[in-house]
């Protein structure tokens, strides 16, 4: 067993709820007490489980035998998935009143930027639950059963998804263009041209993503938010954000959000999960709206 640490406060109930709503059947299991999933890395595959011990501010991590050779990589990815290096006090200072109600909110990352890219594309114009169902269907079609754990399947490797028939993917319930964009994404990972690590310039990296088939601005921003766990991303085109900032254009929303730099990703989460939140009407906003 391995142990990772975090700085309190940490809202584990919210985090497990967020991941549970998006859990892919066959890959992930989320309960009130733990998060468990299959994982493949550098030719090794296995199962891991994480269990928070809130009284000690630690995360207990159990890896199956297949992941022991890549334990360091797994622990680093888990640390990123659960945003364990976050300094909540630093973020609270910047967010002020916006973050006061949920000081333990963290930025859910991803175990793999490629996987998160696939899931972001599948989530285009569908509900959270439908996106998870589509991902489960893709896993069932292209994934490999996890040895020694027959109830689990590994998320499809880039090579497996790149070799998929777009019509077979379309039959799972998605437009053929979306199926083709999944295959293109997977092929670019195989070719080594997809940025699996956060680029030095996140803004430029997001614009580059939009040049890829099937990746618009929202998808690129969401991929950066979770796949790269970029800390300073805001989604002014997001449906719920536009509702929260009623009457404001995306450019005005973007200007308003500058007050939360360099932690706009956390501000985004707080606005998403704070019902009836509205922007303050102050001189700065008035100037923006003129």
> Residues with catalytic annotation?
238
Contact call for residues 111 and 70 (beta carbons, < 8 A): no
For residue 200, what are the contacts with CB-CB under 8 A and spacing of at least 6? none
Cα separations in angstroms, 121 against 98, 108, 132, 240: 30, 17, 11, 18
Name the CA radius of gyration of the chain, rounded: 19
Output the DSSP codes for 228-285: S--SS---TT-HHHHHHTTT--HHHHHHHHGGGTT-HHHHHHHHHTSTT------HHH
- Residue in 121, 107, 136, 234 with CA at minimum distance from that of residue 177: 121
Structure tokens at 157: 């490797």
Residue corresponding to tokens 């996890």: 146
> Would you state the torsion angle of the CA atoms of residues 6, 9, 14, 18, taken in this order, to the nearest 10 degrees?
-40
Residue corresponding to tokens 């899931």: 119
Contact call for residues 228 and 201 (beta carbons, < 8 A): no
């Amino acid at each position: 067993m391995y142990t990772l640490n975090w700085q309190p406060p940490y809202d584990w109930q919210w985090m497990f709820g967020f991941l549970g709503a998006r859990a892919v059947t066959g890959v992930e299991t989320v309960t009130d007490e733990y998060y468990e999933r299959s994982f493949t890395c550098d030719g090794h595959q296995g199962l891991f489980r994480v269990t928070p011990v809130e009284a000690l501010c630690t995360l207990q991590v159990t890896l199956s035998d297949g992941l022991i050779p890549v334990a360091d990589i797994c622990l680093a990815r888990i640390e990123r998935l659960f945003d364990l290096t976050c300094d909540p006090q630093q973020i609270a200072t910047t967010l002020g009143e916006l973050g006061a109600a949920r000081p333990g909110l963290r930025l859910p990352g991803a175990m793999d930027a490629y996987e998160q890219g696939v899931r972001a594309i599948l989530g285009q114009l569908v509900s959270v639950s439908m996106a998870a169902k589509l991902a489960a269907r893709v896993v069932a079609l292209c994934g490999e059963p996890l040895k020694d754990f027959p109830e689990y399947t590994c998320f499809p490797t880039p090579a497996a998804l790149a070799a998929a028939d777009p019509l077979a993917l379309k039959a799972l319930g998605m437009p053929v263009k979306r199926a083709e964009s999944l295959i293109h994404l997977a092929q670019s990972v195989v070719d080594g041209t997809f940025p699996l690590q956060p680029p030095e310039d996140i803004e430029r990296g997001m614009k580059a993503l939009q040049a890829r088939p099937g990746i618009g601005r929202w998808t690129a921003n969401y991929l950066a938010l979770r796949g790269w766990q970029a800390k300073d991303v805001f989604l002014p085109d997001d449906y719920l954000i536009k509702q929260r900032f009623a009457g404001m254009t995306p450019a005005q929303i973007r200007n308003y959000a500058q007050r939360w730099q360099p932690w706009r990703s956390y501000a985004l989460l707080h606005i998403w999960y704070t019902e009836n939140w509205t922007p303050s009407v102050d001189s700065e906003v008035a100037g923006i709206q003129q």
